[in-house]
Structure 1
Amino acid sequence: MQKSTPMPALILGGQENTLSLTRSFGKRGIPVYVSSRPSCMANDSRYVSKTYPITSGMSAQAFWSELLLSGKHSELKNTMIFACNDDALEFMAEHKADLVATGDYIVDEFQPELLKSMLDKQQTLKYATSVGCSIPQFWNVSDISDIEAIAEKIVFPAMIKPIHSHKFQRVYPGKKYLLFNDLDALFSGAKTALANGIEFMLCEMIPGSDEQLSSYYTYIDTNGNHLFHFTKRVIRRFPVNHGGGSYHITEWLPDTAAEGRKFFDGINYSGLGNIEFKRDLRDGKLKVIECNARYTAAQELITASGLDMSFLIYEHLLGRTRPETRDFKDFVRLWLPKRDYHAYKQLRSSGQLTPLQWLKSICHRQTFSCFSLTDPMPALQQTVNWFKR
């Protein structure tokens, strides 16, 4: 008897997280389609069945509308869709009803209007306050006069934090926010951001090292049941205190999990959710930093720890129920060597980390976002691209 082919997974957008999902599904014999920018490292994976690169000069939303809603790609019928960046979330939130109406796709159990509002970083903080989670102090900014009105209240360093991260990064590639140490620099940066059409809020910078950052991940079905619980923390970031993570570690953190559940359960959330906190050493409280309704750059760490959450969600959406779990290994590490070396140099220059301390910190078994002996082409292609640049 011939074995039937599993339902394919179609992954929209992303980079390291897309590669992680591709490998996870591919190793299980699940066909994987990827539609992202041509630079997406998953495009070179041995586990990709077919790629649909976003056309240069075309918005991701327009491309995916053509790909999935025009009826021109019958090979994509009967697939499950996974979002790996904010552009993909925006597309899914806008077109969930259209996608479901075709009868061709399965998507997760997110609520479109709630998902749209959570792409707004300021609205996320308002949600957090409404359910009793602690947040950093922030101020609404619509023009430069708003900053002038609160100038005496601002405590530096202060940040310009975008309302929509994916739109901000089109103007400021690779940055999560803009950090300022004095009022003149803040005014200059705010004027530039406003001139570029960036919506933002002014937000206090929670003091303390990057080691105070922790995250909670879960998936909640439409009945309010959790599929899993996962927590991790950050060891280092680059640039220090305001860049992307360069070194992560898994650890069950009851306080982080409790605050995360308070947030998601409190807003009646459903679907995949990740929320990041920073412990404020001034009062000991975990403060909400941001929330993502998607797979993050640290996805490979989660899989390596034994919690293959993308497959758990895949199985759940096919109606194959599993018991709620938080079964993952503590102290599994994800290391980004190049980025972490830059973090080390910055910390060394400020006297916060010695060469010996850095070497001791990385002398552990490591997980990598891209490098894999069984799937070498993504790392090789990234190396070639680096030399070309």
Structure 2
Amino acid sequence: METSVLGMKPPVILLGGLANTTSVARSLGRAGIRLFVVAPESSPVLRSRYIHQRLPIAKGQESVDYYHHLLVESQQLPQGAVVFPCSDCAIDFVARFKASLQQRYVFDIQDPQHQLDLLDKQKTIDLARQAGCQAPGYWPVASLEDVQRLLGQLRYPVLIKPIHSHVFQSRFNKKLFLIENEEQLLEQAQRVLGASIEFMLCEFVPGPDTLLSSYYVYRDQQGRVLFEFTKRVIRRAPPNFGAGAYHITEWLPQTAEAGRQFFQAMAFTGLGNIEFKTDPRDGQLKVIECNARFTGAQELVTRSGVDMPNLIYNFLVFGTHPEQQSFRDNMTLWIPLDDFDSFRELHALGKLTLWSWIRSVLRPHVFCYLSVRDPKPFLFDVWAQLTKRIRGKLKA
């Protein structure tokens, strides 16, 4: 690799992502690694002081097309660079083009088929069941007739859950649809089918968001573990089916054991993350989703003591395999505006008082973008969030 000849650490190319990419960039940047970031022009990470070269994806431009142009067609990015996909779209691209690109770039040791399988939410449930893990029930849907045949058989609420979340989110700006009755089911099913987006109907696991927990692991080709990490959720926005707004670190043996069972059954290699929800009806952990990438809570992972980006980078480049990394329990990641939105909804339902919410957040926190040494991503994100909310109120 040309970077090795120069006696330098190979640079890193980060593809896509938002808060996770910013956290990864800071971890690697502090280690003196040159960073080339390909992300939407509105992404806070492009304002980071640690970026060597910014390659913004223009609004309306397809991310995959730009990745293909940069890495396949023009080959203008440095040979020998380590490529980290930080979004589902980027994972899909890497999985499909890894074979033709790995002579020029360094990739994680993940099996491309595993990456594609974990992007597929229906396939993920099938894999969970094959591994002996519990998972929600689901009903495949290919047409409106499939939905109509299920009328009268479903217990509401149910979920319209996309097969590929990133495709659904780019169209509807939501992770899924929560369906309360047959009329709503037919209306939303027609809407999704009309957009030619694949989905399934999925059982809704009841209970509050505090029943959610996650397991992170890195497994090498021999099944040895580079690190393990667990956390749980305090609140999401919107409650029950949004993104995490308040997370807390905690070693959760049952979550870790269920995660190990899942990834071992797959013979999975590389970075994996799996989320569970404890079903209050039977006390079992049910698989909710999986990711083969850094997640939005990455800054919490790093600050708690597991510097995943550097551990993975050093393993891929230098073959280092340190002892299992420990982490600090009871650290929290808080996204204030999103969590306030969550509070408002829970308060309206009589599930959370103002004083209880205030008490829950009166403590030191980790924030996705806040950094004294690298302030611009935080300032950009605050401005973008406030502007978005003001515009929303003006339109209302």
Q: Give the number of equivalent residue pairs.
A: 383
Give the counterpart of 1:40 among 39, 43, 47.
Answer: 43
CA contact (8 A) 1:55 1:63 kept: no
Q: CA deviation at 1:56?
A: 4.1
**1:321-376 CA-partner distances (Å, limit 9, x unpaired):** 22341400001100000000111111111111111111111111100001222211
Question: Sequence identity, in percent?
Answer: 43
For residue 219 of structure 1, what is the aligned residue in structure 2?
A: 218
Secondary structure of the residue that 2:132 maps to in structure 1?
coil
TM-score by length of 2: 0.94
For residue 96 of structure 2, what is the aligned residue in structure 1?
A: 94
Distance 1:388 1:335, change over 3 A: closer
Compare 328-337 and 217-226 and name the one that shifted more.
217-226
For residue 3 of structure 2, what is the aligned residue in structure 1?
A: none
Secondary structure of the residue that 2:57 maps to in structure 1?
coil
For residue 76 of structure 1, what is the aligned residue in structure 2?
A: 78
Cα distance in 1, alignment partners of residues 144 and 243 from structure 2? 28
Q: CA deviation at 1:113?
A: 1.8
CA contact (8 A) 1:13 1:36 kept: yes
Compare 5-14 and 323-332 and name the one that shifted more.
323-332
Which residue type is aligned with residue 168 of structure 2?
F
Cα distance in 1, alignment partners of residues 32 and 313 from structure 2? 13
Compare 375-384 and 200-209 and name the one that shifted more.
375-384
CA contact (8 A) 2:218 2:272 kept: yes
RMSD value over aligned CA atoms? 1.3
For residue 315 of structure 1, what is the aligned residue in structure 2?
A: 314
Which residue type is aligned with residue 153 of structure 2?
K
TM-score by length of 1: 0.96
Q: CA deviation at 1:69?
A: 1.8
Q: CA deviation at 1:320?
A: 3.3
Give the counterpart of 2:30 among 27, 30, 46.
Answer: 27
Which residue type is aligned with residue 50 of structure 1?
Q
For residue 164 of structure 1, what is the aligned residue in structure 2?
A: 164
Secondary structure of the residue that 2:193 maps to in structure 1?
helix
For residue 140 of structure 1, what is the aligned residue in structure 2?
A: 140
**1:12-50 CA-partner distances (Å, limit 9, x unpaired):** 000000000011111111111110110111000111111
For residue 382 of structure 2, what is the aligned residue in structure 1?
A: 383
Q: CA deviation at 1:167?
A: 0.6
In structure 1, runs of 5+ residues without a counterpart are: none
Compare 16-25 and 47-56 and name the one that shifted more.
47-56
Distance 1:72 1:286, change over 3 A: closer
Which residue type is aligned with residue 272 of structure 1?
L
Secondary structure of the residue that 2:382 maps to in structure 1?
helix
Q: CA deviation at 1:71?
A: 4.4
Cα distance in 2, alignment partners of residues 386 and 248 from structure 1? 20
Give the counterpart of 1:15 among 2, 13, 18.
Answer: 18
**1:63-110 CA-partner distances (Å, limit 9, x unpaired):** 11111122441x5222111011011000100111111123xx110001
For residue 127 of structure 1, what is the aligned residue in structure 2?
A: 127
**1:268-307 CA-partner distances (Å, limit 9, x unpaired):** 1111100000000110000000000011100001001010
Cα distance in 2, alignment partners of residues 30 and 328 from structure 1? 24
Secondary structure of the residue that 1:287 maps to in structure 2?
strand
Cα distance in 2, alignment partners of residues 101 and 72 from structure 1? 12
For residue 391 of structure 2, what is the aligned residue in structure 1?
A: none
Which residue type is aligned with residue 384 of structure 1?
W
CA contact (8 A) 2:305 2:325 kept: no
Q: CA deviation at 1:319?
A: 2.8
Q: CA deviation at 1:242?
A: 0.9
